[in-house]
Amino acid sequence: MKFTSVFDIIGPVMIGPSSSHTAGAARIGRVARDLFGRQPKWAKIYLYGSFAETYRGHGTDVAIVGGLLDFDTYDERIKTSFQLAKEANLEFEFITETANKEHPNTARILLGDEAGEMSVEGISIGGGKIEVSEVNGFKLKLTGGMPAILVVHDDRAGCIANVANALAMHHVNIGHMEVSRIERGQTALMVIEVDQNIDEKILHQISLIPHITKVSKINN
């Protein structure tokens, strides 16, 4: 199969030798935007391993910026994402790192605006699939292939049960759940993958639960 440009490999089926460097990279950018909850004003994008070595030639850079602009992997606008980012007042910077990561296709995106910032680390595992491995210092494993809820909360007894009960009341089935904490008794992060997209009113209800400090979602 012959490709005339790197963008020929970005499509709904994500075929091609560099799907991990383009389609996967776009998904990392888009999931980072989803977790942030709005269009960021700036982004510092740290690239590791193979990403750092080949990001210009394989279109990793334009793909990540396209994801930050909420473009899907097959969106033709990815080709001009740098210009569109400028028009959207999104400032970005790419920084190549020499530190070794567990996976060679790793990107860490620090994004923010006047209201706050967030750090998201993701890896592209091939075929356009990704895993989010860290959010704001919390270690996790989020595939991005299912709708998900991220709940930041105080590390207190009952928080997990209360969130699970709130989802059960709305007949939301949990497919996968994990909890990460940096220090015992301080702040923790709940990651819940579910079988359906979550309505905003459910997120609002969860945010009112005692000891919950922030709720965000990723729709599929």
Both structure tokens of 46 = 């740290």
Higher pLDDT, 84 or 79: 84
State the virtual CA torsion across 131, 85, 61, 31 in degrees, nearest 10.
Answer: 0
DSSP 161: H
pTM over 0.85, yes/no: no
Least confident of 7-16, 18-27, 54-63, 82-91: 7-16
What number is the average pLDDT over the span 130-148?
A: 86
Q: Phi, psi at residue 9, to the nearest 5°? A: -90, -5
Q: Indicate the residue type of 139.
A: K
How much of the chain exceeds pLDDT 70, in percent?
Answer: 90
Least confident of 58-62, 75-79, 127-131, 191-195: 127-131
Distance CA 34, CA 100 (A): 27
pLDDT at 140: 85
pLDDT at 6: 47
Both structure tokens of 140 = 């996790």
* Mean pLDDT over each residue of the chain, to the nearest integer: 87
Tens of pLDDT, residue by residue over 14-53, are 433 356 678 889 999 999 998 898 999 999 999 999 999 9
Distances from the Cα of 139 to the Cαs of 45, 134, 190, in angstroms? 19, 5, 11
Q: pLDDT confidence of 122, banded at 50, 70, 90?
A: very high
CA 38 to chain centre: 12
pLDDT at 19: 65
DSSP 122: E
pLDDT at 46: 97
CA 58 to chain centre: 20
Which pairing describes strands 148-154 and 116-126: parallel, antiparallel, or unpaired? Answer: unpaired
State the CB neighbour count (10 A cutoff) for residue 133.
19
CA 62 to chain centre: 16
Higher pLDDT, 131 or 18: 131
Handedness of CA 175, 181, 182, 188 (dihedral sign): positive
pLDDT at 2: 40
- Structural domains for the chain: 6-136 (3.30.1330.90), 148-218 (3.30.70.260)
Residue 13 has pLDDT above 80, yes or no: no
